[in-house]
Copies of this chain bind each other. A is one copy, B any other.
Amino acid sequence: MRKVRVNSFSISLDGYAAGPNQSLENPLGVRGPELFHWFFSTRTWKQMHGHEGGSTGVDNEWAQRGMENVGAWILGRNMFGPLRGEWPDDLWKGWWGEEPPYRVPTFVLTHHPRRSLEMKGGTTFYFITDGIHLALEQAKHAAQGRDVRIGGGVATIQQYLRARLIDELHLAFRPILMGSGENLFAGINLEALGYRCTEHVSTELAIHVLLKKET
């Protein structure tokens, strides 16, 4: 059974998945990178970015689970870049340089049409203006039987959660407080939507939690 998944989604103890004030200088918002500290230290992340080394323990197992069997990604526009409104030109190609780490068809939700972008290493960005349901349909088709991973951010994930389209959600709570930013739990009732926690384990850097949709 192929799934629609969220993995390695990092949040603070108080529920914030990104810091405030995202910008070109702060793609993850102010203090956002602290949320990903557990992930950046894993072998999985380092390999994705062509580096040696990295941790191989529990954090890495969760990071790796997140990358396995993913046939397509869906990203909210703010995860793709700092620009808002109409695309001024085709120059912005994401935060990740010429060879993004996705390596499969990647669907970017936006209100503004744009031609698709074929990148090095297998990633093609498709810009979808028809809403979350059609984006998911296209992603499922492109994934060819593998899973669809929804990358974020909070607004995108909340939309898919409200539509009960996400099968499982791996959250990595970092033992930090953010105090402001985008809160995953604000304005949404995950319990009423049928999600339950089925696994939890903590490491020095993160508390990993798996939420699954009841069938």
- Interface residues, chain A, with chain B CB atoms under 8 Å away: 13-15, 171, 173, 175-180, 183, 185-186, 189-193, 195-197, 200-202, 207, 209, 211
Contact = CB atoms under 8 A, between A and B. Distances in A.
Number of copies: 2
A197 B209 contact: no
B200 A189 contact: no
Contact of A177 (B175, B190, B202): B190
Contacts of A190: 14, 177, 179
Q: Which of A173, A180, A183, A195 has the most CB of B within 10 A?
A: A173
Contacts of A209: 13, 175
A173 B175 CA distance: 12
B175 A180 contact: no
12 contacts: A13-B173, A13-B197, A13-B209, A13-B211, A176-B191, A176-B196, A179-B193, A180-B191, A180-B192, A200-B202, A200-B207, A202-B207
Nearest to A184: B14
Contacts of A180: 189, 191-192
Contacts of A171: 13
A195 B12 CA distance: 13
Given A173-B173, A177-B195, 19 more contacts: A13-B209, A13-B211, A14-B15, A14-B185, A15-B15, A175-B200, A176-B191, A177-B190, A177-B196, A177-B211, A179-B189, A179-B193, A180-B189, A180-B191, A183-B185, A186-B186, A200-B202, A202-B202, A207-B207
